């Protein structure tokens, strides 16, 4: 068990030895055990003298005397110290030692100097002088003045509950608007901060969430306003971004963050002090970018730390308050002082986040299906995740006019769209007008199969007045009308029984949960089917085409009261992924069973399940304790770090949505009523089902 020791804030110490700051090579501090022992010996000696401090060696002839404001101590190689350098205003320090890993820094804001602590893989510890901008975001410009009143005497607005940009993503950022008490972190020299709630309305908070979500849309990152969702992620895969007028952490700044703190494993937050949507949202994306290792985007000539942009564009890691298009950058503008590849750094293995999976194929051979509904209306959507990503969709028409509109996110978009219309051979028939972020194609088409492609583009000269397609990324929608396109799908799925609610056509293809959602079909929402002659649809219970699966080769007005081999079956609001394909049955069978339910089929997954207690998966799973009362530990005996779980009652109703957990991580299920449940565990392409009992 770790012990926390609070030191007096009123103690002051002399600088034992201090030489002029200058660039230096790394200085060895021995190994982690040596450093822990050194700090503990100092603490024992100083406590006996009623003194609380530490000597911080930074070179062979330089030692700084520190005032320790917060300390926790654990095992033989666990130590955390935070405080300030004695008699040095604007200074701070922290050192964290955990096993063979050491991280920390010393910051001297007034002289703009810094030192960095780090270790190698074997536990050898080093310290070196570092550019302060590679340690801490300093002097980040405050946002433009807003009409917001000050926090004093203001009742905090209700925070929009449970907003999530990517449920189950690898990493998580919590936009914390409702105030927060922060202690035991490097902020405020290790002293607590009681941060007031943000001075934003509920509508403004929602728009800030939209802005930040769009900036992080290409990544496997969940931007959320839910504390509960945030707490499901391990500490080294999450970041709290606090919106507050309490600027104790960096007075006079628009926000502040420690560089590369996303995976520090200690919940050190970042901060936003600006009011207003643009000021708060741009600052949040900027500060979270710092926690993912990004530095500032400025210029060498004129010398400036934050570039305010050109034309309608500015870099996120510069200052984008005054530009409508604010994107990630790799320093393509003239005189850039930072040429780092923002996208590559944030998606590196260092932080375990990465890019989203590509949602649609890049060629006509791997095209997705353009959703064409009644009257030829179009309703599709997608995401451009990477530079030069291309999403391709197919559609068919009996001939007529096609009006196709492509639009990025309705507010704070980053994606500048280039769209093309292709014929069945892949030749370009039409290209969208390059004006504005949106795109449109109007063409009179002969009968046949066509394709549309969507990608990001730039405008102007990225060196002087524009931007390239480098970070032209984000969400888009496709709408419009295709004459003669009505019923172009092989299968039509309906929201309600008796063919009510939405009616969405599906052409042959594979549609996982994400693809169905993009077409406007929520998870577990299909209630009726119409299947054209010669085709079939396979409904799968789980994501990734896993779980129980059933084939339909005809129309079904309601999926509630079905029967398979004499057994009753309810598949209403059940399907999570589907496959549409030409019928695999013999012609005679198709004719005789045109509107009957076929026999269940095994999922394409290697270890899918067709019954509740099918336990023949190839992976061994241990659930403990079982029965359980509050927490259930899920352990998969294989080389996996994380996986998804879902919980169902015995009627097949989902009672706990998909959650990504670490292997062996206890899951709090205390909210469930007593009884028996099914746990579905998704490990790669394997789906394992187990029964558990809640007492």
In the predicted structure, residue 14 carries a pLDDT above the cut 50:
no
Q: Assign 412 a pLDDT band (cuts: 50, 70, 90).
A: very high
Reported in sequence order, the residue ranges of 446-490 that DSSP labels E, i.e. its strands, are 448-456, 474-482
CATH number at residue 251: 3.40.390
Query: In this predicted structure, what is the pLDDT of residue 239?
Result: 98
Q: Are residues 510 and 449 in the same domain?
A: no
Q: Assign 619 a pLDDT band (cuts: 50, 70, 90).
A: low
Query: In this predicted structure, what is the pLDDT of residue 147?
Result: 43
Burial of 580 (0-12, 13-18, 19+ CB in 10 A): buried
* The domain boundary residue, chosen from 132, 147, 162: 132
Query: In this predicted structure, what is the pLDDT of residue 485?
Result: 66
Specify the number of domains making up the chain.
Answer: 5
Q: Are residues 38 and 127 in the same domain?
A: yes
Q: Assign 398 a pLDDT band (cuts: 50, 70, 90).
A: confident
* The domain boundary residue, chosen from 132, 161, 188: 132
Query: In this predicted structure, what is the pLDDT of residue 565?
Result: 63
Closest CA to 279 of 319, 313, 317: 319
Q: Are residues 457 and 505 in the same domain?
A: no
CATH number at residue 545: 2.60.20.10
Q: Which of 12-21, 105-114, 228-237 has the lowest mean pLDDT?
A: 12-21
In the predicted structure, residue 159 carries a pLDDT above the cut 70:
yes
For residue 335, CA distances in Å to 141, 297, 462 come to 20, 11, 12
Greater confidence (365 vs 319) lies with 319
Per-residue pLDDT tens over the stretch 323-366: 999 999 999 999 999 999 999 999 999 999 999 989 888 988 88
Q: Are residues 557 and 631 in the same domain?
A: no
In the predicted structure, residue 10 carries a pLDDT above the cut 50:
no
| Mean pLDDT within 88-99 | 91
Share of the chain above pLDDT 90, in %: 47
Q: Are residues 465 and 498 in the same domain?
A: no
CATH number at residue 664: 2.60.40.3080
Greater confidence (305 vs 152) lies with 305
Query: In this predicted structure, what is the pLDDT of residue 155?
Result: 55
With contact defined as beta carbons under 8 Å apart, do 368 and 509 qualify? yes
Mean pLDDT for the chain overall: 83
Q: Are residues 191 and 115 in the same domain?
A: no
- Identify whether 230 is part of a domain: yes
pTM: 0.71
- Identify whether 605 is part of a domain: no
* Contacts (Cβ under 8 Å, ≥6 apart) of 643: 636, 660, 661, 663, 681, 682, 683, 684
Q: Cα(8)–Cα(3) distance, rounded to whole angstroms?
A: 17
Q: Are residues 512 and 573 in the same domain?
A: yes
Per-residue pLDDT tens over the stretch 561-611: 887 666 788 888 889 888 887 777 643 333 233 333 433 343 333 222 222
With contact defined as beta carbons under 8 Å apart, do 108 and 88 qualify? yes
Query: In this predicted structure, what is the pLDDT of residue 47?
Result: 60
- Identify whether 459 is part of a domain: yes
Q: Are residues 210 and 274 in the same domain?
A: yes
Q: Assign 87 a pLDDT band (cuts: 50, 70, 90).
A: confident
CATH number at residue 442: 2.60.120.380
Q: Assign 675 a pLDDT band (cuts: 50, 70, 90).
A: confident
Which residues, in sequence order, are bridge partners of residue 539? Answer: 550, 578
Give the helix ranges, DSSP H, for 180-242: 202-215, 227-231
- Identify whether 328 is part of a domain: no
Greater confidence (421 vs 533) lies with 421
Q: Are residues 38 and 105 in the same domain?
A: yes
In the predicted structure, residue 150 carries a pLDDT above the cut 80:
no
In the predicted structure, residue 380 carries a pLDDT above the cut 60:
yes
Q: Are residues 450 and 510 in the same domain?
A: no
- Identify whether 613 is part of a domain: no
Domain containing 265 equals 171-295+340-347
């Amino acid at each position: 068990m770790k012990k926390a020791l609070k030191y007096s804030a009123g103690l002051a110490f002399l600088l034992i030895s201090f030489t002029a700051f200058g660039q230096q090579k790394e200085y060895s501090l021995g190994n982690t055990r040596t450093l822990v022992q050194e700090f503990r010996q100092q603490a024992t000696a100083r406590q006996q003298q009623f003194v609380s401090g530490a000597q911080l060696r930074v070179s062979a002839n330089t030692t700084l005397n520190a005032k320790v404001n917060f300390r926790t101590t654990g095992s033989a190689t666990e130590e955390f110290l935070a405080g300030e350098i004695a008699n040095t205003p604007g200074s701070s320090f922290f050192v964290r030692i955990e096993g063979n890993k050491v991280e920390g820094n010393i910051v001297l804001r007034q002289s703009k100097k810094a030192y960095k602590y780090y270790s190698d893989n074997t536990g050898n510890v080093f310290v070196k002088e570092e550019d302060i901008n590679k340690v801490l975001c300093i002097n980040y410009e405050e946002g433009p003045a807003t009409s917001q009143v000050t926090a004093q005497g203001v009742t905090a607005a209700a925070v929009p509950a449970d907003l999530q940009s990517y449920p189950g993503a690898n990493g998580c950022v919590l936009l914390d608007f409702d105030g927060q008490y922060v202690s035991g972190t490097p902020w405020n020299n290790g002293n607590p901060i009681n941060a007031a709630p943000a001075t934003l309305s509920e509508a403004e908070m929602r728009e800030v969430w939209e802005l930040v979500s769009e900036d992080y849309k290409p990544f496997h990152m969940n931007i959320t306003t839910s504390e509960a969702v945030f707490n499901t992620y391990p500490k080294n895969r999450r970041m709290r971004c606090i919106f507050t007028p309490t600027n104790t952490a960096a007075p006079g700044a628009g926000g502040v963050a420690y560089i590369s703190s996303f995976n520090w494993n200690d919940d050190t937050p970042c901060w936003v002090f600006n009011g207003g949507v643009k000021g708060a949202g741009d600052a949040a994306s900027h500060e979270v970018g710092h926690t993912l290792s990004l530095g500032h985007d400025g210029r060498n000539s004129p010398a400036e730390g934050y570039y305010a942009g050109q034309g309608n564009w500015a870099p996120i890691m510069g200052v984008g308050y005054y530009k409508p298009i604010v994107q990630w950058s790799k320093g393509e503008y003239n005189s850039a002082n930072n040429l780092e590849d923002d996208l590559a750094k944030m998606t590196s293995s260092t932080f375990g986040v990465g890019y989203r999976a590509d949602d649609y194929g890049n060629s006509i051979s791997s095209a997705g299906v353009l959703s064409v509904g009644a009257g030829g209306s179009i309703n599709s959507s997608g995401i451009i995740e990477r530079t030069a990503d291309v999403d391709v969709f197919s559609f068919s028409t009996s001939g007529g006019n096609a009006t196709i509109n492509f639009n990025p996110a309705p507010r704070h978009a980053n994606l500048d769209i280039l769209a093309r219309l292709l014929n069945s051979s892949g030749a370009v028939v039409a290209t969208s007008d390059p004006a504005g972020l949106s795109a449109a194609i109007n063409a009179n088409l002969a009968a046949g199969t066509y394709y549309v492609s969507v990608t990001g583009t730039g405008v102007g000269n990225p060196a002087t007045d524009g931007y390239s397609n480098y970070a032209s990324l984000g969400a888009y929608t496709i709408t419009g009308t295709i004459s003669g396109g009505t019923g172009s799908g092989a299968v039509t799925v309906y929201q309600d029984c008796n063919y009510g609610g939405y009616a969405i056509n599906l052409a042959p293809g594979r549609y996982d949960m994400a693809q169905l959602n993009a077409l406007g079909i929520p998870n577990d929402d299909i209630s009726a089917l119409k299947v054209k002659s010669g085709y079939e649809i396979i409904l799968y219970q789980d994501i990734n085409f896993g779980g129980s699966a059933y084939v339909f080769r005809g129309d079904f007005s309601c999926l509630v009261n079905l029967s398979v081999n004499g057994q009753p079956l309810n598949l209403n609001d059940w399907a999570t992924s589907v496959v549409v394909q030409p019928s695999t049955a013999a012609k005679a069978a198709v004719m005789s069973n045109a509107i009957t339910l076929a026999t269940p089929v095994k999922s394409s997954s290697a270890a899918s399940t067709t019954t509740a207690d099918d336990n023949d998966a190839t992976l061994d799973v241990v659930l403990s304790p079982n029965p359980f009362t509050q927490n259930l530990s899920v352990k998969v005996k294989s080389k996996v770090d994380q996986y998804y779980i879902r919980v169902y009652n015995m009627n097949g109703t989902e009672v706990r949505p998909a959650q990504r957990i670490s292997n062996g991580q206890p899951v709090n299920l205390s909210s469930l009523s007593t009884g028996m449940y099914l746990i579905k565990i998704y490990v790669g392409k394997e789906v394992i089902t187990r029964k558990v009992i809640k007492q």
